[in-house]
Structure 1
């Protein structure tokens, strides 16, 4: 009973702000969903139905309250070839398989992999996305009637100035209402939502994908579905982290993986394409005051109401109003402080951030950009840790024994430094390698130790390794060959 009451409290703790924010997001989803449908090469209703179903389902199944999920560009670009070659039914089937992969990822708790995304990568991801959002608005800013610029300027003014009067109503919603009223009253000749494409007028219906159930079909679908699942989860988990930071509240990343899978499967079964979390709409939602799951549910449900019951009213909303909202999102999303910190941050951090931005903007692929950032972060980290290792040596009083003391972390990046530091050609009878202040992490470290010991023995030196800690000793015992060769030679001699 207490759990049920607590759940209801989370849903209805902030109803007014959640409902109003959801209405704003529903309006902002329309041009995006239509545009992503065009990218994927499918009918606009496929993207719109996807946005309705995914938003409604993820409100219950997701792990990040107040985050918005719907049809997205990140997944749309992956679908293009599949739709062109095999048709939309194969897209629905691939989306179901995408959902299965995402559920498996959640059950395997792969959401924990977010710990390996550094702050520099996150900043680069956010900045790149802000740039992409701005670039996506350029077609609505070039070659348009002068009235469009006037509406755009007025919309931005309302968005930024209205909160000084009151924050009871989200300013983006006020801007949309004001600009729609002015457009209708003055009969302005500007692009409206009605010009973007044919809007569906019926409810989405349940249907299984009409594809043959064969291994050949699975061979076609599996690579696309796996890519869709990976891209969708990456963008969703990164967006969840951003919303976590904006709201100072935690989220359940593994539950989000499972929720994304369930939502995508439901989308395909009701005639929608695959999708994931949307940072732009999520920022609109949170910036408008939303904090709970109710806002996400309202966004999906109100979008459906707009499409089916309020289609005539929706058609007269000027695109300039939605462009103003998206420009606000772009401006608010970009981390302007990161530009000032380029000189003060460590060079490696700045390089990672800039590389992530450049890669995402150049490829229009968030997954590739984040992957580049993560790899660079790993390289820089490995280089930094490798410099913390040190090898010193001391010659015994009789000049017959050289002791090498190894300190720090020995792994693939520092293994070469360790092996180079041990001089096996020195005229001594015995070499002692003291690793009591070191830790061996991987096979590269074990291989370096093997090379040193075996080369020294070939030069007629006696070698002793001392001070291995328990973890390092286990690794050496399992994978090192120098002890096994010594034991083999001893047994042969006997």
Structure 2
């Protein structure tokens, strides 16, 4: 081992011991946690609504994942400033799960997902997943999901408040008032986002929520109503009435685990670039925290989680250096888990602006694919269209099949390779990449 490698390893060991807390950065981390929570709370509410999960369950998932992330940072840090939470990209998948299996069986689906993720973590299989599913296809998948999210929340920008009957005439006085507030909210949010996205990223979210709350005193709008549910702690036992549901449950959980893992690995790559101390990320350690959080969440009916790039970027720009900021996020969100009545002051149009913005940003992620060339851009766009029109898993699988056929045709027809040679070349690629990673 060279001296450079020894120094690098020692630096990583030193960072590992201080990933959760460093005294010199404590004040910055406390501030970052408060700011990031300000952005994470309305975002998590919107994602829970999109997922068809109770809002209280979504917030509890974020809080639990934050505590696990802080705990694991003491001995197995995956990254140093990543903020865990429920992912917008997984929201329609979870909603599909509820529609298919019922909310009462989703705890088992999440448990099964965590089990598959534990296997991926144990054998370090995420490297193979990234080779089998190119990153640009994941971007296409997220673009299709983003379009679903944007269209889901767009009608809330002109939705009438509860108790106001809709008439045949769309342009009623009540409707015009809601649309006017939404328009002002959009201009406020986008203006502040454009100006402060690189310095104070939570400010647009905070300002929009405050504007919405203040506007609701003067104009009647549809308000959020959070149901105070009773958490039942227990082992997730399924209740499937057919063999087909059992088989589909395993397939569904496997695909959910794969998408969750790939998103986390991609997020880690981005988090590493924005780390203020340039510390390397360890994706396998991040997967450990994810599957433990997911498995733990399944015992109270929680959702899946990962270190989302939006929250992590906000955490970094707010001044975070260690996972102490994540502990602060968890504590603040826990307060609202047990005091959900405070959330009833949030107007729907403000949440709709945030979630529509999130969805559009996911769609615009396709623009980043252009650097990979026209083939990647076209295939990612096709994946997004199929995900939106056909279905999330179906769209991804169809695109993967098309990708494999194109790969086969190129080597078969252009290079005139026999089928056996193409397969050997494919598996050789896995083997070579495995040696490089080891």
- Residue of structure 2 aligned with 1:37, choices 52, 66, 77: 52
The 2-side partners of 1:209 and 1:217 are apart by 18
Match of 2:187 in 1: 157
The offset of 1:109, in angstroms, is 1.3
Task: Select the structure with the greater relative contact order (CA < 8 A; seq sep ≥ 6).
Answer: 2
1:370 aligns with 2:396: yes
* Contact 1:33/1:51 (8 A) holds in 2: no
- Residue of structure 1 aligned with 2:346, choices 286, 295, 317: 317
- Residue of structure 2 aligned with 1:244, choices 244, 266, 269: 269
**Residues 143 and 93 of structure 1, relative CA distance in 2, 3 Å threshold:** closer
What SS is found at the alignment partner of 2:111?
Answer: helix
- Tell me the TM-score normalised to structure 1 length: 0.64
What SS is found at the alignment partner of 2:346?
Answer: coil
* Contact 1:233/1:260 (8 A) holds in 2: no
1:263 aligns with 2:293: yes
Q: 1:385-432 CA deviation, whole Å, 9 max, x = no partner?
A: 445536xxxxxxxxxxxxxxxxxxx341xx7xxxxxxxxxxxxxxxxx
Structure 2 residues not aligned, in runs of 5+: 1-12, 161-174, 275-279, 432-438
The 1-side partners of 2:295 and 2:252 are apart by 15
The 1-side partners of 2:47 and 2:235 are apart by 26
**Residues 149 and 168 of structure 1, relative CA distance in 2, 3 Å threshold:** same
* Contact 1:133/1:327 (8 A) holds in 2: yes
* Contact 2:66/2:83 (8 A) holds in 1: no
The 2-side partners of 1:272 and 1:59 are apart by 21
Match of 1:233 in 2: 258
**Residues 136 and 299 of structure 1, relative CA distance in 2, 3 Å threshold:** farther
What SS is found at the alignment partner of 1:275?
Answer: coil
Match of 1:359 in 2: 386
1:102 aligns with 2:127: no
* Contact 1:355/1:372 (8 A) holds in 2: no
The 2-side partners of 1:234 and 1:76 are apart by 15
Match of 1:75 in 2: 94
Match of 2:376 in 1: 349
Whichever structure has more helix as a proportion of its residues is 2
**Residues 153 and 68 of structure 1, relative CA distance in 2, 3 Å threshold:** farther
- Tell me the TM-score normalised to structure 2 length: 0.71
Q: Radius of gyration: which is bigger?
A: 1
Q: 1:196-252 CA deviation, whole Å, 9 max, x = no partner?
A: x4134x7x464334679xx99999757525522431331342254156337626643
* Contact 1:22/1:285 (8 A) holds in 2: no
Match of 2:203 in 1: 171
The offset of 1:384, in angstroms, is 2.9
* Contact 1:193/1:318 (8 A) holds in 2: yes
* Contact 2:42/2:351 (8 A) holds in 1: yes
The offset of 1:140, in angstroms, is 0.8
Q: 1:82-122 CA deviation, whole Å, 9 max, x = no partner?
A: 33xxx72x443443333222212211212112133335314
1:57 aligns with 2:41: no
Whichever structure has more strand as a proportion of its residues is 1
* Contact 1:123/1:335 (8 A) holds in 2: no
The offset of 1:304, in angstroms, is 2.4
**Residues 5 and 32 of structure 1, relative CA distance in 2, 3 Å threshold:** closer
The 2-side partners of 1:255 and 1:339 are apart by 27
* Contact 1:50/1:268 (8 A) holds in 2: no
1:224 aligns with 2:249: yes
1:198 aligns with 2:227: yes
The 1-side partners of 2:285 and 2:55 are apart by 30
* Contact 2:41/2:333 (8 A) holds in 1: yes
> Comparing 66-75 with 289-298, which one deviates more in the overlay?
289-298
Task: Give the count of matched residue pairs.
Answer: 379
